[in-house]
Amino acid sequence: MNTEPVHPDPSTPDWAALQRQAHAWVREFATGKPTVADMARVKQWRGLSAEHERAWTQACRDWKALGAHAEAFAEQRPELARPRPRRIDRRVFLGAAASAFGTLAVVGVVRPPLGLWPSWREWQSDYRTATGEQRQFTLAHDIRLNLNTQTSVALRGQGDQPVFELVSGEAAVSAAGAACEVLAGQGRVLLTRGEVEVRRLPGDQVRVRCTEGSTEVWHPTRRITLVAGQQVTYDPNSMDDRVRPAPPVSAWRQGMVAFDDQPLSDVVDEINRYRPGRVVLMNDALARRRLSARVSVQALDEVVEHIERLYGASVRRVGDLVILS
C-alpha cells in the first residue's frame, strides 16, 4: 500500500477518533494494495482493546453497506460502466469530477478494475491468499482446505457440518468422515468422505472436480454425483449435461501451471493469477494464437519469453508490468 492510515494512540479513549482510525484502515484495505504486513498491523491494532475491535467491526459494517448500495447503483445505472466519449466543457468537467470520483471509488470497492486488488467480499473472507500464494488449513473434524493463488473462502456455518463459500479463486477441500458443504456460485458441493477441487471461472462459471471418494453437486436445475476422476461445470442457469474426465490432481497442487492448447488470451489471464504485477495482451491476432506448456509457478516469465520467441511478439517491460503486442 502506498499510503498509510494514521496510527492510533492506544491511550486515547475518544470513540470518534477510534472510528476515524478504523475507517482509515478499512478504506486502505478496500481501495489500496495491502500486503501481508499490513494485515498483521491491522490485526495488532484491533487487539489493542475491545473498543478498537468494536470500531473495526462497525467500520466493516459501514463499508459492507456502502458496497451493497454501490452494487444496487451499478445495476440501476449500467451505462456508467461503459461511458461514451464526448466533448465537455472544462468547467462542467471540473464540477463533476469530485462527485464522479466518489462514485468510481465505491464501484472500485465492489468490482476492482482488472482485478488489480481484492474486492470487498474477498477481504471479508475468513481464509485468503494473495497473488502467487498458496496456503493449507487444517480445521475441526479433520477437514482440510488447500487454497490456490488469489483465493478467498468464507466460513458460512459451523458445527457438525461446516459450510464454506468459495468467493473467488480455487480450493481443494478434503473430508475424512465429517460432512461439509462448499457453496460456489449457484451450486452446492456436499462432501462426506473424499476430496474435491472447486474453481470459480470467468463468466460466473464454476468447475467441480472429484479427486478422491465421491461428492454430490447440487444446482437449481439438477443434482449429480461425482466419483474420483470426474468433473462438471455449471453457471447460474445450467449444469453440464454430462460429467467429464478429470486429472488425478490439478497442476497447481504440484507447483505447476499447465496450458493445453489454450488461446494466449487465456494463458495471460492464468499468468496474472500467479505472477505479481500485470501482463497485458494488446494484439487481438496474438490473443488468438494457442499454446501448450507446463511450467513452474515460479518461472512464469519463461512463458512470456516463449511467446516472444515463438510468435515474434513485441515485449515491453515497466517494472512488473509486461505489455505484449
First to last CA, the chain: 30
Model pLDDT, residue 67: 54
Among 76, 104, 122, give the residue marking a domain's end.
122
Residues 263 and 306 in one domain: yes
Pair (68, 137) in one structural domain: no
Residue 268: give its domain's CATH number: 3.55.50.30
Question: Which residue numbers in the chain have pLDDT < 70?
Answer: 1-13, 27-36, 62-125, 159
pTM of the prediction?
A: 0.64
Q: Are residues 179 and 107 in the same domain?
A: no
Is 234:205 a contact under the CB 8 Å cutoff? yes
C-alpha cell at 313: 511478439
How many Å apart are CA 267 and CA 294, to the nearest integer? 11
pLDDT at 100: 43
Q: Are 155 and 163 in contact (CB under 8 A)?
A: yes
The residue with cell 495482451 is 281
pLDDT recorded at residue 223: 96
Is 79 exposed, middle or buried (CB count within 10 Å of its CB: 0-12, 13-18, 19+)? exposed
The last residue of one of the domains, among 63, 94, 122, is 122
Full residue range of the structural domain in which residue 315 is found: 255-324
111 in the same domain as 38: yes
Q: Is residue 277 assigned to a domain? A: yes
**Number of domains composing the chain:** 3
131 & 240 share domain:
yes
Q: Count of CB atoms within 10 A of residue 224's CB?
A: 17
Look at residues 122, 142, 168 and tell me which one is the last residue of a structural domain.
122
CATH of the domain at 239: 2.60.120.1440
Q: Verify that 168 and 282 share a domain, yes or no.
A: no
Q: Is the domain of 65 the same as that of 103?
A: yes
Q: Does residue 224 sit in the same domain as residue 242?
A: yes
Do residues 170 and 198 make contact, with C-beta atoms less than 8 angstroms apart? yes
Q: Return d(Cα 245, Cα 257) in angstroms, integer.
A: 19
